[in-house]
């Protein structure tokens, strides 16, 4: 065991440890153990000719600066920004794309992401090419001097497919060096995966999910590795007024500090539940199972499989009955909460994607998504078994 001073600690420690040795965090005259909430819209100035560090909370607030500095540290970013939702984070990023330019994205995307990309196509003349990101080479025919963003989800939502981030980045750099690689890291959080360290240009998270962890907060995070990109992101945030409010910044910071203990428990529960479903002959989508086709690739990029999985029953109506028979599993479109959640993506979170598009992308209508919480895993398994048997899904699978 080393006893020398460290400049960077292990991920679980970095989530909790707030270091101000670089002087970036706002000064607090009272040395508060928890960052103060500067619940103010404006800041008084010493003169009419010279403005201080903060003048108007739309442009900046000490509480927001504090959580943004902490996010930049844990995400290995040059700069990080806190905004009012995950979709706002993506919207801010897509403002980097001009009319006539193009985006390349996966074919298994969160429904809200798909909706925003469709809007860009119909209103802003920004075309999106949807590809199978599990095969890095499928991107090659679509790369050109028009390509502005390459948007990746890995694992994808809800089929849990894995993209080879380093390989895709290598291909993009060789063929479209002006394109930016953007990764939605919400499924993993910076505790399990840090795409900026793999070479990505921008990473964003829905802070509503694991970073917050309690579903009492809406937030989004954008992290960049380059100051020039950061300046453009900040301009849009300031101009549109979508920066996260001070109280929500405080809640977000509080959630981040418990991310490691929550994720460790949720992930351990998820592994047991995935194994249980697989033992009962269901087709399970989860990168923590060795039967997952990209198990080894995911393990190289991440330190864990996360706590979201999906499975197929083989019958849409049985899936609906199963979801409604659960008691501990709350029926909800979201994930990342301490409470376990269950949903049918094609009827809920991904319902905005037309049925024919879902079919073309091989998204099963009977798919059930489980977002595993911190409850006792035996209670979760018993409740799930009750729903499986009561709906008839277990009999069909076997």
The yes-or-no verdict on residue 397 having pLDDT over 80 is no
**Mean local confidence (pLDDT), 111-138:** 95
Computed over every residue of the chain, the mean pLDDT equals: 94
Predicted confidence at residue 398, as pLDDT, reads: 67
Q: Which residues contact 260 (CB under 8 A, 6 or more apart)?
A: 11, 12, 15, 16, 191
Terminal CA-to-CA distance of the chain, rounded, Å? 50
CATH topology of domain 11-257: 3.40.640
Predicted confidence at residue 5, as pLDDT, reads: 53
The Cα diameter of the chain in Å comes to 76
Residue 91, number of CB atoms within 10 A of its CB: 18
> Which residue did the predictor score with more confidence, 395 or 113?
113
DSSP one-letter code for 28: -
Predicted confidence at residue 6, as pLDDT, reads: 54
The yes-or-no verdict on residue 1 having pLDDT over 50 is no
> Which residue did the predictor score with more confidence, 359 or 317?
317
Question: 81 near 233, Cβ under 8 Å?
Answer: yes
Which residue intervals of the chain are DSSP H helices?
11-16, 62-74, 86-94, 111-123, 165-175, 189-192, 227-240, 246-257, 259-279, 295-301, 316-325, 355-360, 377-391, 393-397
Q: What percent of the chain has pLDDT over 90?
A: 84
**Mean local confidence (pLDDT), 329-350:** 91
- Class for the domain spanning 260-397: alpha beta
Question: 219 near 211, Cβ under 8 Å?
Answer: yes
Question: 318 near 389, Cβ under 8 Å?
Answer: no
Instruction: Give residue 29's pLDDT band: very low, low, confident or very high (50, 70, 90).
Output: confident
pLDDT tens readout for residues 57-83: 999 999 999 999 999 999 999 999 999
**Nearest-angstrom CA–CA distance, 378 and 269:** 9
**Mean local confidence (pLDDT), 10-26:** 87
Question: 244 near 83, Cβ under 8 Å?
Answer: yes
Residue 222: beta bridge partners? 81, 204
Q: At 183, is the secondary structure helix, strand, or coil?
A: strand
User: Could you state, in order of their start, the residue ranges of all structural domains in the chain?
Assistant: 11-257, 260-397
DSSP one-letter code for 130: E
Question: 360 near 326, Cβ under 8 Å?
Answer: no
**Nearest-angstrom CA–CA distance, 319 and 370:** 12
Instruction: Give residue 3's pLDDT band: very low, low, confident or very high (50, 70, 90).
Output: very low
Backbone angles phi, psi at 344, to 5 degrees: -110, 100
Catalytic residue numbers read: 58, 110, 184, 209
Residue 204: name the closest of 372, 119, 91 by CA.
Answer: 91
pLDDT tens readout for residues 222-258: 999 999 999 999 999 999 999 999 999 999 999 999 9
Predicted confidence at residue 144, as pLDDT, reads: 98
**Nearest-angstrom CA–CA distance, 217 and 247:** 10
Residue 298, number of CB atoms within 10 A of its CB: 25
pLDDT tens readout for residues 254-309: 999 999 999 999 999 999 999 999 999 999 999 999 999 999 999 999 999 999 99
Residue 369: beta bridge partners? 310, 343
| Selection from 1-5, 17-21, 32-36 with the highest mean pLDDT | 32-36
Residue 81: name the closest of 94, 96, 69 by CA.
Answer: 69
Quote the tokens at residue 140. Answer: 């090659």
Could you tell me the pTM of the whole model? 0.94
With tokens 């033992």, the residue in question is 279
Quote the tokens at residue 67. Answer: 């959580």
């Amino acid at each position: 065991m080393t006893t020398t001073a460290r400049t960077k600690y292990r991920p679980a420690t970095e989530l909790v440890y707030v270091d101000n040795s670089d002087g970036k965090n706002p000064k607090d005259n009272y040395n508060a153990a928890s960052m103060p909430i500067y619940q103010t819209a404006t800041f008084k100035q010493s003169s009419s000719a010279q403005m201080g560090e903060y003048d108007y909370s739309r442009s900046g607030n000490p509480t927001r600066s504090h959580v943004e500095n902490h996010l930049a540290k844990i995400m290995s970013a040059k700069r990080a920004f806190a905004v009012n939702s995950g979709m706002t984070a993506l919207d801010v990023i897509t403002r980097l794309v001009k009319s006539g330019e193009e985006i390349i994205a996966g074919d298994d995307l969160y429904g809200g992401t798909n909706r925003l990309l469709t809007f860009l196509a119909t209103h802003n003349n920004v075309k999106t090419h949807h590809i199978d990101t599990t095969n890095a080479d499928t991107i090659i025919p679509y790369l050109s001097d028009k390509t502005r963003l390459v948007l990746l989800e890995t694992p994808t939502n809800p089929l849990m497919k894995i993209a080879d981030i380093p390989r895709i980045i290598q291909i993009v750099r060789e063929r479209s060096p002006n394109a930016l690689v953007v990764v939605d890291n919400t499924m993993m959080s910076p505790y399990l995966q840090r795409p900026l360290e793999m070479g990505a240009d921008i990473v964003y998270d829905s802070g509503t999910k694991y970073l917050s962890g309690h579903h009492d907060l809406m937030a989004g995070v954008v992290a960049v590795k380059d100051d020039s990109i950061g300046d453009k992101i900040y301009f849009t945030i300031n101009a549109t007024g979508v920066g996260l409010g001070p109280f929500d910044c405080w809640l977000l910071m509080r959630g981040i500090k418990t991310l490691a203990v929550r994720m460790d428990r949720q992930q351990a529960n998820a592994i047991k539940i995935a194994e249980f479903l697989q033992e009962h002959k269901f087709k399970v989508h989860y990168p923590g199972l060795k039967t997952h086709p990209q198990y080894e690739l995911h393990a190289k990029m991440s330190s864990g499989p996360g706590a979201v999985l999906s499975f197929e029953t083989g019958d849409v109506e049985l899936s609906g009955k199963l979801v409604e028979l659960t008691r501990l599993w709350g029926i909800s479109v979201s994930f990342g909460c301490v409470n376990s959640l269950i949903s049918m993506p094609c009827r809920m979170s991904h319902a905005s994607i037309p049925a024919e598009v879902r079919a073309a992308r091989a998204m099963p209508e009977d798919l059930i998504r489980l977002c595993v919480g911190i409850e006792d895993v035996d209670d979760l398994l018993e409740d799930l078994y009750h729903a499986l048997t009561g709906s008839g899904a277990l009999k069909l699978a076997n």
